[in-house]
Amino acid sequence: MQITGVTQHHVSHQLADSFRPNWIPGYPQGSHEAEVFEIETDAGITGVTASPSFAGGLDYATPLSLFLQGEDPHDVEGIMRKLETVDLIGPRPWHLELALWDIIGKDAGKPVYELLGGCDDPIRAYASTGEVQPAEERIGYVEDRVDEGFEAVKLRIAERADLDVVRAVREAFPDLTLMVDANKGWAVRVMEDETQWSVAEAEAVARELADIGGIAWFEEPLPRHDYDGYARLRDAAAVPIAGGEFNGGPQELYEFLDRDAVDVLQPDAALVTGIKRAVEVAGAARNRGVRFVPHTWTNAIGFAANLHVMAAIGADWCEFPHDPPWTPEAWAAPIHGEFTATDGTVTPPKGPGLGIELDRDLLEGE
Ligand SMILES: [Mg+2]
């Protein structure tokens, strides 16, 4: 089988209202954008993947075609070497590896998780918010998620004062597992810079979180390359420390592991690793007693890929993005249907490959 070409589509889906994600400080996001790629083969099988996009995105299907045409999509290692070159000269390319697995799975007639030795047992999901909101609104949101069966919610904080929201949610829901994400690993600095903390400031926040109690992890309290800072914080903190969702590639994740810098490693297959490297890194993490809980907040194609990884490795939590107007329907935009959580759990798609189908009407209306 040979790759014959790569087609790119820019997808933009209008949100019902403006969304103020913690990772784009000061910016009201009005739409969900994605770059969708189709890798075509001479066997008539097409693999799909997507990357997050912003402000119209970058078009790079032509150089990708040059690197990938003529390659066998089953040769994941060989193509990863080509993608390393793309990484040198262009946008980060790791999401393209997901399309190879979509082709391999469609060719075999099996879902990706099955090819990787996983099963379709339900995975516990936590409802993941994106905005910092006042306590009263957040408590109403959490009530809705608890009614749906979620047993854990991830809250966002930007400033130390936002701990008041975490405290209020804890008082209203004494038994709920809480994750707390400070989003200080990276930011889209189109309007404002994110507030950054010193290790000492992050330690002070971690102490307050330990007092609040029931905190599954404290996520991205420091910039993503400050491995030593993470290691010092992890040493001092009484709550688990998490990071690595948007680092530059697999080798940066081994920095976190080699320096004992995190309790929970969170690389997103669509952003950092691809599927094969995600499974490898998850094994290395397990050997060191580090949990592996991938970030999933991109779009439904990235979510599907991470879900196959979770099913393959037996992850203990799945991030389920849900913070209206960023609803499962909104982030599903590139595909038909949407992902749902049932009684606070999700299961990987059972169709061949990634198990998703592109929404052609949306692609044609681009
Ligand atoms: Mg995060």
CATH number of the domain at 201, please. 3.20.20.120
Question: What is the Å distance from ligand 1's center to 108 Cα?
Answer: 34
Write out the two tokens for 212.
């609040």
Mean of the per-residue pLDDT values for the chain? 97
Q: So what's the pLDDT on residue 366?
A: 53
Asked whether residue 351 is domain-assigned, the answer is: no
Question: What is the Å distance from ligand 1's center to 181 Cα?
Answer: 6
Burial of 225 (0-12, 13-18, 19+ CB in 10 A): middle
Question: What is the Å distance from ligand 1's center to 316 Cα?
Answer: 16
User: Does one domain contain both 192 and 296?
Assistant: yes
Question: What is the Å distance from ligand 1's center to 270 Cα?
Answer: 14
Q: So what's the pLDDT on residue 227?
A: 98
Least Cα distance to 278 among 320, 301, 244 occurs for 244
User: Does one domain contain both 233 and 277?
Assistant: yes
Q: So what's the pLDDT on residue 143?
A: 98
Asked whether residue 283 is domain-assigned, the answer is: yes
Q: So what's the pLDDT on residue 360?
A: 86
Question: What is the Å distance from ligand 1's center to 5 Cα?
Answer: 34
Question: What is the Å distance from ligand 1's center to 183 Cα?
Answer: 6
Q: Please, which residues bridge with residue 125 across strands?
A: 318
Question: What is the Å distance from ligand 1's center to 322 Cα?
Answer: 13
User: Does one domain contain both 168 and 286?
Assistant: yes
Which CATH number characterizes residue 26's domain?
3.30.390.10
Question: What is the Å distance from ligand 1's center to 4 Cα?
Answer: 36
Q: So what's the pLDDT on residue 363?
A: 80
What long-range pairs does 289-292 form, CB within 8 A, spacing at least 24? Answer: 290/256, 290/257, 290/262, 290/263, 290/264, 290/265, 291/240, 291/263, 291/264, 291/265, 291/316, 292/264, 292/265, 292/266
User: Does one domain contain both 69 and 168?
Assistant: no
Question: What is the Å distance from ligand 1's center to 72 Cα?
Answer: 35
Asked whether residue 352 is domain-assigned, the answer is: no
Q: So what's the pLDDT on residue 240?
A: 98
Asked whether residue 228 is domain-assigned, the answer is: yes
User: Does one domain contain both 263 and 328?
Assistant: yes
Question: What is the Å distance from ligand 1's center to 303 Cα?
Answer: 14
User: Does one domain contain both 131 and 269?
Assistant: yes
Do the Cβ atoms of 79 and 87 come closer than 8 Å?
A: no
Asked whether residue 66 is domain-assigned, the answer is: yes
Question: What is the Å distance from ligand 1's center to 156 Cα?
Answer: 9
Asked whether residue 262 is domain-assigned, the answer is: yes
Question: What is the Å distance from ligand 1's center to 106 Cα?
Answer: 31
Which amino acid would we find at residue 240?
P
User: Does one domain contain both 66 and 143?
Assistant: no
Question: What is the Å distance from ligand 1's center to 272 Cα?
Answer: 13
User: Does one domain contain both 219 and 338?
Assistant: yes
User: Does one domain contain both 227 and 160?
Assistant: yes
Question: What is the Å distance from ligand 1's center to 131 Cα?
Answer: 12
Question: What is the Å distance from ligand 1's center to 154 Cα?
Answer: 9
Question: What is the Å distance from ligand 1's center to 220 Cα?
Answer: 6
Question: What is the Å distance from ligand 1's center to 313 Cα?
Answer: 20
Question: What is the Å distance from ligand 1's center to 41 Cα?
Answer: 35
Question: What is the Å distance from ligand 1's center to 155 Cα?
Answer: 10
Question: What is the Å distance from ligand 1's center to 366 Cα?
Answer: 29
User: Does one domain contain both 205 and 315?
Assistant: yes
Question: What is the Å distance from ligand 1's center to 219 Cα?
Answer: 6
User: Does one domain contain both 252 and 181?
Assistant: yes
CA–CA separation, 215 and 80 (whole Å): 37
* Residues of the chain under the 50 pLDDT cut: none
Q: Which residues span the domain enclosing 103?
A: 3-109+358-364
Question: What is the Å distance from ligand 1's center to 91 Cα?
Answer: 21
Q: So what's the pLDDT on residue 280?
A: 98
CA–CA separation, 225 and 80 (whole Å): 23
Asked whether residue 31 is domain-assigned, the answer is: yes
CA–CA separation, 210 and 218 (whole Å): 10
Asked whether residue 61 is domain-assigned, the answer is: yes
Question: What is the Å distance from ligand 1's center to 186 Cα?
Answer: 9
User: Does one domain contain both 181 and 104?
Assistant: no
- Structural domain count of the chain: 2
By DSSP bridging, strand 318-321 and strand 123-128 are parallel
pLDDT tens, residue by residue, 51-94: 999 999 999 999 999 999 999 999 999 999 999 999 999 999 99
Question: What is the Å distance from ligand 1's center to 248 Cα?
Answer: 15
